[in-house]
Structure 1
Amino acid sequence: MHPAIKLRHIRLFLAVADLGSLTAAGRAEGISQPAVSASLAELETLLGAPLLTRQGRRIALTPQGDGFRRHAREALAALEAAARATLPEAGPQRLSVGLLPTVSTRFFPEVVGRFLATRPGVTLSIETGAHPDLLRKLKDRRIDLMIGRMPQAAELPGLDFEFLYEEPVVAAVRSGHPGADLPIITALRDHPVVLPTRDAIIRKTVDDYLAQHGLATLVPAVETSTLALGRGLLMATDAIWFISQGVIEAELHAGTVRTLPLGAAYLSGAVGMTRPAGLSPPDSLARLMQLIRDAAEARRSGA
């Protein structure tokens, strides 16, 4: 390998390969898009092979790039493991968990209380964010576990997904909403619509639902998957928010928010735990995962 190749080259290449965009990779890594382009061009020169090609507005891997990604990811993971191996065995333990919005407001907080009661010396480092960002951090071993919607099939190589429960996408409105008794299509045409962000894993499902009901050209008033903003919009306006039910469970339980009947069973999807394949979890992580399984079983049984 050329001695001028640095870890920054590798990390930026993997970010672009995962996100399919120079701009998105630069935003994730905290650098400008021109700096990403320059770094990738430098890496290709040092390797003597093209790694990326443009397909419309997205970046795709060449055959050489696909092979390089596989080996580069394994090498980076090995380096991360080597760094962790230098840490002293004694002292505080830390687990890094990535949460998608559907589990971050109620399901996982309830698990945390049980976990801390049995592992008081462990610090849980929690990251929330968009699916692509958390998935890339998981693949780079920067988080130990990701909990949320099931990744797409193309994203699963090198990962293990464990099913926990099914969760629907709902159309949420405030209690007393003027469109609550209208047919759903009429309500959607007559009121502002809030959709998940474009990088949210449920967005395509929602777009397909709208297209099947003749609303493919509907322009959302707002795009967000964030509870604080979405809840505020529901309370302050007559908006209809398409979101995973788990995000608004507390509001539904309190009666401040209700859902409109969508009549589409396919809007339900799998929620589960995703981890790098082939790795045995350390004791504390294994305990956390078991508590998550127990909570999911209680949810499935209605307990």
Structure 2
Amino acid sequence: MRHVRCFLTIARCGSMTAAAREMNSSQPAVSRSLAELEKLVGQPLFERGGRGLTLTEAGERLRRHLDPAVSQMEEGVRLAGGTAAVPRVSVGMLPNVARTLAMRSSVMFKEDAPDVDLELHWANVSELIVRLNRGEIDMLLGRLLSLEHMDGVSFEHLYPENIVFAVHHTHPFAARPDDVTLSEVGAELVVVPLAGTIIRRELDKFMTARGLARFRRQIETVSFEFTRSFLRETPSVAAIPLGAIRHELAEGELVKLGLSGEELVGSVGISFRSGRALSPEAARFAEVVRVVARDYA
């Protein structure tokens, strides 16, 4: 068990030093445990590089099997000791659904199941996928994940969602939203998703198809709270998922421009760990999500 916990901690932390710190151990001890496990497996489990330790293909296969197994063992120990936890549903959410699908589903679920604890986790996609694989979260709400994150993950489509271009209602573009061209947007300061994110890749495809590599003046961020505040304070344009600004559009604070394209349409849904059954409480939450999603379809 020591070797298993050591391996999973290194995989999560990405370095021997960080893993040793988390385990309250020494780096030589952690390194020794990993070496013993790799000898037992018969091949390396990590690649050593300038950016730390990354799982090899063998290491990734091992992690996918050990993560849920360890979670089940820990739950079994709690049950055997008579300390079973209160029924709990743990959900990961991406920023585009935090104020809409996740929020409304949470309200409806707690009204229906007040005695079930509900945990909502907000982190980057890679961290949420690690938690999903480990069984720490039951499902993930948000846009369809990129291919590198879909191994061992199943996705249930709920509704399509556009990336939209938006401005504050005081911006000159707000007076003629349907007539604004991409060239005009390109002359403005534009807030775009951070490089490497799912929505940035969709935006890049849209731009490339129209002969543009990037905006001349741009700010990159994954914080939609920053983007909304920035639009209020500056005469700028934002490329942002519709779900992140539904409230502001409905209230007239922000105005959506008429620019659109099939490259900007993504799928919003629920990501599950393939082959892992949901608890009755988690299945109940998933059904609530499906009901709420109908309003956005």
TM-score interval for Structure 1 and Structure 2 normalised by the shorter chain: 0.7 to 0.9
Q: In the alignment, what sits opposite 2:8? A: 10
Structure 2 residues without counterparts, runs of 5 or longer: none
Q: In the alignment, what sits opposite 1:158? A: 152
Cα offset, 1:127, TM superposition: 1.1
Question: Is the Cα–Cα contact under 8 Å of residues 101 and 247 in structure 1 kept in the other structure?
Answer: yes
Q: In the alignment, what sits opposite 2:117? A: 123
Among all aligned residue pairs of Structure 1 and Structure 2, give the percentage whose two residues are the same amino acid. Answer: 26
Q: In the alignment, what sits opposite 2:282? A: 285
Cα offset, 1:268, TM superposition: 0.5
Counterparts in 2 of 1:51 and 1:280: CA distance versus 1, 3 Å: closer
Q: In the alignment, what sits opposite 2:59? A: 68
Q: In the alignment, what sits opposite 2:253? A: 256
1:84-120 CA distances to partner (integer Å, 9 max, x unpaired)? 2324576632221111011101222111121111111
**AA in 2 matched with 1:84:** E
Residue 297 in structure 1 maps to residue 297 in structure 2 = no
Counterparts in 2 of 1:40 and 1:243: CA distance versus 1, 3 Å: farther
Structure 1 residues without counterparts, runs of 5 or longer: 17-21
> What pairs up with 1:47-62 in 2 under 5 angstroms?
47-48=38-39, 49-53=43-47
Question: Is the Cα–Cα contact under 8 Å of residues 170 and 244 in structure 1 kept in the other structure?
Answer: yes
**AA in 2 matched with 1:268:** V
Residue 167 in structure 1 maps to residue 161 in structure 2 = yes
**224, 227, 234: which one pairs with 1:227?**
224
Question: Is the Cα–Cα contact under 8 Å of residues 130 and 199 in structure 1 kept in the other structure?
Answer: no
Q: In the alignment, what sits opposite 2:185? A: 188
**132, 137, 140: which one pairs with 1:146?**
140
Q: In the alignment, what sits opposite 1:106? A: 100
**CA distance, structure 1, for counterparts of residue 224 and residue 290 of structure 2:** 24
SS at match of 2:118: strand
SS at match of 2:3: coil
Cα offset, 1:31, TM superposition: 7.5
SS at match of 2:296: helix
Q: In the alignment, what sits opposite 1:241? A: 238
TM-score, reference length from structure 2: 0.82
1:155-197 CA distances to partner (integer Å, 9 max, x unpaired)? 2221221111110111121113123435332332221111112
**78, 82, 99: which one pairs with 2:73?**
82
Residue 273 in structure 1 maps to residue 278 in structure 2 = no
Q: In the alignment, what sits opposite 1:93? A: 87
**AA in 1 matched with 2:91:** V
1:133-172 CA distances to partner (integer Å, 9 max, x unpaired)? 2122111222111000111234222122111111011112
Question: Is the Cα–Cα contact under 8 Å of residues 94 and 143 in structure 2 kept in the other structure?
Answer: yes
Counterparts in 2 of 1:154 and 1:200: CA distance versus 1, 3 Å: closer
